[in-house]
Amino acid sequence: MPDHSSASAAGRWISVRVVPARDPGARAACLGALFAVGAQGVHEDGPSLVTHFPPGTDLEAVHRAVTEADELAVLETSPVPDIDWTEAWKARITSHQLGALTVAPPWLSAELDPRTSIVIEPGMAFGTGEHATTRGVVRLLPSQLTPGAVVADLGAGSAVLSIAAAKLGAGRVYAIELDADAIPDAERNVARNGVSDRVHVFEADAGGLLPLVAPVDLVLANIISSVLIELLPVIAAALRPGGTAILSGILLEERDTMQQVLAAHGWRLLADDAEDIWWSVSIALA
């Protein structure tokens, strides 16, 4: 790994680009390692994971964490130009038209109809509409959501999917998120979008709380595939007869394996959505 300690000492931010091994678990492992050493956000650029660290960051520690997670990962670091990060960050975030709904940040929402828009203030919580997994779930939602349905959103993050369900007609939504840091963002987003009467945010483990709010008509779970597999029995037990689930966070290269796992657990596929390297799927018990 190139030595950019002088750039860091001079007050320059450092760009870190990681190319994980092609093993399905390597990408998730590298992503977790970057967040563990302080990354506040990670951008997917094709096969690469790209993030930025502030001046003074121990880049050797970053390198060590990533290579311990994936010994075949390739890291590249480089100093980044001095720019207005706030404006550059805002310029990269756009609005997304997803069927009947539009997901947008506050500065792009002035002309949008509040009834069909979701306004999300980008923060630490995952879920701004910028990620293909979020978009995949929102595109699949209308076909699985009935008016007045009870919905559980597992790993809710910013609560964008919970808000989408409420805007599309859900009667009650449980937004369940384990990360305490994400809860204030989720609660603010729920209030901002005028759905506090239907969306209830809980800081809890999804597998532990879901049985307590069951039965539900629809489960949303945008989580990495290994966790999704662990949750399948809990999701099955929580659904009312005829209930469905929408799963996302699955890499396209994992699709065949996931289909086999779902079939083995007694699920049938209803519809799917693919964007970039990600696969989302709606399922029901066979």
Domain boundaries, the chain: 5-82, 91-285
User: Residue 162 pLDDT > 60, yes or no?
Assistant: yes
Mean pLDDT of 123-127: 57
**Which residue carries 């038209």 as its tokens?**
97
Residue 180 zone, left/alpha/beta (φ > 0; ψ -120 to 50; rest): alpha
Mean pLDDT of 145-165: 96
Tell me the fold of 91-285.
Rossmann fold (3.40.50)
Residue 62: CA count within 13 A, CB half-sphere = 28
Cis peptide leading into 105, omega within 30 of 0? no
Mean pLDDT of 223-249: 97
- Give pLDDT, residue 6: 39
Q: Would you say 26 and 70 are in contact if contact means Cβ atoms under 8 Å apart?
A: yes
User: Residue 5 pLDDT > 80, yes or no?
Assistant: no
Q: Would you say 273 and 133 are in contact if contact means Cβ atoms under 8 Å apart?
A: no
Mean pLDDT of 13-39: 91
Provide, rounded to the nearest whole percent, the portion of the chain with pLDDT above 70: 91
Domain 5-82 - what CATH class?
Answer: alpha beta
